[in-house]
């Protein structure tokens, strides 16, 4: 890597290929308060070295399977209560119909999202699952995933904390699994904090799920939610927690760095959005702490900053759907894939479609899922351009 002149000894250490410690990261963060340029520049060079000038995304269909949830987070509008007009409990025929539409639009990812174990809180969910022949949301997720895979979509399940046995069942049909750590600080679960009424967001529970996914060799997407009351040091600690899981299990394929958006009608409706400088500095620190990691920000939540985030060290835009809304953030429509591509090109990047599994994680995927992906993959294990025509 060509050496640049940086004022910071620590950033020069990164250029010499040395790992930075947690204390180093704190110091770099503090220095970036005064001069963010060197941090972003270092992150860019590390991204270029490890990922080149390629930005990826996953063309997806969002299956809003069951949006009831046993937990309550202070910022969430995804979860609804029984009787709400936005309730979603997708039956088998609805799933089949959406799979068909997804195929027509050349999507490759079937994103299956549910709240946390709805059946533990709501009789309506238990009864509905039972009427369909299932005793848990996880069982229904396995059915939905197997159906999507059979039809040529590649499932990525995001259903909160799953047990090891549930994940082992999903591994047979899923290309990857997602679980946001959000933050590793137990402080955010204390009284008056956003996870006070969400035991599933207890960092120990989340870390255990990520470790279990690792012990099952499942490519795993996780990430941080920025701006929910954490300190910058807690965000840095969270990145080191994810790094530690990955060093032990080698399963973390991607880190999403997501900015909190206040929503009307939630207890956090009056909370400010995170400062963009802080957000970008965390993105760059993620690259410095894990230079080879895939780092994503969702483009619908920061639609005016394509070049700014590419210049902070990201290499991916996550799942983008040409047909379904982002049910977690429905107020923020996804940009068109053409818009993302145009902005990437203007910033000097090529945009390519990937599978829910990143190319380097293909060997971890179940044989059946992998062979189906390889049927429409190119030599770099990205979605072949022929398939998308
Ligand atoms: S666990 Fe997820 S779905 Fe449930 S309230 Fe929290 S953010 Fe919403």
What separation in Å is there between the alpha carbon of 68 and the centre of ligand 1? 9
Tokens (6 digits) for 344: 């990437």
- Specify the residue with its C-alpha closest to ligand 1, atom 5: 72
Closest residue by Cα to residue 227 from 189, 303, 265, 282: 282
- Specify the residue with its C-alpha closest to ligand 1, atom 2: 115
Q: In angstroms, how far is CA 178 from the centroid of its own chain? A: 6
User: What are the sequence ranges of the domains in the chain?
Assistant: 57-279+295-388
What separation in Å is there between the alpha carbon of 73 and the centre of ligand 1? 6
What separation in Å is there between the alpha carbon of 94 and the centre of ligand 1? 23
Q: Quick one: 311 exposed, middle or buried, by C-beta within 10 A (0-12, 13-18, 19+)? A: buried
- Specify the residue with its C-alpha closest to ligand 1, atom 6: 73
What separation in Å is there between the alpha carbon of 71 and the centre of ligand 1? 6
CA distances from 139 to 78, 119, 144, 166 (A): 21, 12, 9, 8
Helix (H) or strand (E) holding 66: strand 54-66
What separation in Å is there between the alpha carbon of 160 and the centre of ligand 1? 8
Residues with CB under 6 A from ligand 1: 69, 71-73, 76, 78-79, 115-116, 160, 198, 200
Q: Which of 62, 79, 265 to mutate to test the pocket of ligand 1 (most atoms within 8 A of CB)?
A: 79
Q: Which atom of ligand 1 is nearest to the CA of 76?
A: 8
Is 1.10.3370.10 the CATH number for 57-279+295-388?
no
Is residue 181 a contact partner of residue 224, using CB atoms and an 8 Å limit? Answer: yes
Is residue 213 a contact partner of residue 258, using CB atoms and an 8 Å limit? Answer: no
Q: Which of 62, 81, 122, 160 to mutate to test the pocket of ligand 1 (most atoms within 8 A of CB)?
A: 160
**Residue 150: how many CB atoms within 10 A of its CB?**
11
What separation in Å is there between the alpha carbon of 204 and the centre of ligand 1? 17
What separation in Å is there between the alpha carbon of 115 and the centre of ligand 1? 6
* E runs forming strands in 192-247: 220-226
Q: Which atom of ligand 1 is nearest to the CA of 201?
A: 1
Q: Tell me the whole-structure pTM to 2 decimals.
A: 0.95
- Note the pLDDT of residue 305: 87
Task: For the chain, 389 residues long, give each residue's pLDDT as a single digit of tens.
Answer: 444 545 578 888 888 888 999 999 999 999 999 999 999 999 999 999 999 999 999 999 999 999 999 999 999 999 999 999 999 999 999 999 999 999 999 999 999 999 999 999 999 999 999 999 999 999 999 999 999 999 999 999 999 999 999 999 999 999 999 999 999 999 999 999 999 999 999 999 999 999 999 999 999 999 999 999 999 999 999 999 999 999 999 999 999 999 999 999 999 999 999 999 999 999 999 999 999 999 999 999 987 889 999 999 999 999 999 999 999 999 999 999 999 999 999 999 999 999 999 999 999 999 999 999 999 999 999 999 999 87
Backbone phi and psi for residue 357, each to the nearest 5 degrees, phi listed first: -95, 130
Q: Which long-range contacts (CB under 8 A, 24 or more apart) does 143-148 make?
A: 143/92, 144/63, 144/65, 144/90, 144/95, 144/110, 144/112, 145/110, 145/112, 145/170, 145/173, 145/174, 146/172, 146/173, 147/92, 147/95, 147/96, 147/99, 148/63, 148/95, 148/99, 148/110, 148/112, 148/173
- Note the pLDDT of residue 28: 93
- Note the pLDDT of residue 6: 52
Q: Which atom of ligand 1 is nearest to the CA of 195?
A: 6
- Note the pLDDT of residue 2: 46
Tokens (6 digits) for 168: 């082992």
Q: Which of 65, 66, 73 to mutate to test the pocket of ligand 1 (most atoms within 8 A of CB)?
A: 73
What separation in Å is there between the alpha carbon of 261 and the centre of ligand 1? 14
Rounded Cα gap, residues 277 and 117, in angstroms: 36
- Specify the residue with its C-alpha closest to ligand 1, atom 3: 115
What separation in Å is there between the alpha carbon of 263 and the centre of ligand 1? 14
What separation in Å is there between the alpha carbon of 69 and the centre of ligand 1? 6
Can you state the angle between helices 22-34 and 36-51, rounded to 10 degrees? 120
Is residue 58 a contact partner of residue 108, using CB atoms and an 8 Å limit? Answer: yes
Q: Which atom of ligand 1 is nearest to the CA of 115?
A: 3
């Amino acid at each position: 890597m060509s050496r640049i002149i940086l004022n910071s000894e620590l950033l020069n250490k990164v250029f010499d290929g040395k790992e930075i410690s947690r204390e180093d990261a704190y110091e770099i963060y503090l220095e970036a308060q005064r001069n963010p340029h060197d941090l972003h520049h270092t992150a860019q060079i590390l991204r270029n070295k490890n990922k080149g000038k390629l930005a990826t995304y996953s063309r997806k269909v969002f299956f809003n399977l069951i949006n009831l949830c046993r937990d309550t987070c202070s910022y969430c509008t995804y979860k609804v209560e029984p009787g709400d007009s936005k309730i979603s409990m997708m039956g088998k025929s609805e799933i089949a119909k959406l799979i068909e539409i997804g195929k027509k639009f050349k999507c490759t990812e079937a994103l299956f999202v549910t709240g946390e174990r709805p059946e533990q809180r709501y009789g309506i969910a238990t009864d509905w699952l039972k009427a369909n022949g299932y005793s848990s949301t996880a069982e229904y997720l396995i059915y939905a995933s197997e159906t999507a895979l059979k039809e040529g979509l590649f499932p990525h399940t995001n259903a909160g904390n799953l047990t090891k046995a549930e994940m082992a069942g999903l591994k047979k049909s899923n290309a990857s699994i997602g679980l946001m750590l959000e933050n590793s600080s137990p402080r955010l679960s204390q009284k008056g904090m956003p996870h006070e009424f969400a035991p599933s967001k207890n960092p120990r529970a989340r870390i255990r799920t990520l470790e279990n996914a690792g012990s099952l060799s499942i490519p795993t997407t996780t990430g941080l939610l920025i701006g929910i009351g954490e300190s910058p040091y807690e965000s840095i600690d969270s990145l080191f927690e994810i790094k530690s899981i990955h060093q032990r299990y080698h399963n973390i394929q991607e880190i999403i760095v997501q900015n909190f958006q206040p929503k009307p009608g939630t207890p956090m409706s009056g909370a400010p959005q995170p400062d963009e400088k802080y957000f970008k500095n965390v993105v760059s620190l993620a690259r410095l702490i894990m230079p080879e990691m895939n780092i994503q920000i969702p483009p619908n939540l920061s639609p005016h900053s394509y070049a700014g985030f590419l210049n902070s060290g990201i290499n991916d835009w996550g799942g983008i759907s040409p047909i379904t809304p982002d049910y977690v953030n429905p107020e923020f429509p996804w940009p068109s894939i053409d818009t993302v591509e145009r902005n990437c090109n203007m910033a000097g990047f090529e945009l390519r479609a990937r599978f829910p599994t990143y190319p380097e994680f293909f060997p971890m995927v179940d044989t059946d899922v992998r062979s189906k992906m390889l049927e429409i993959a190119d030599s770099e294990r990205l979605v072949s351009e022929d398939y998308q025509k």
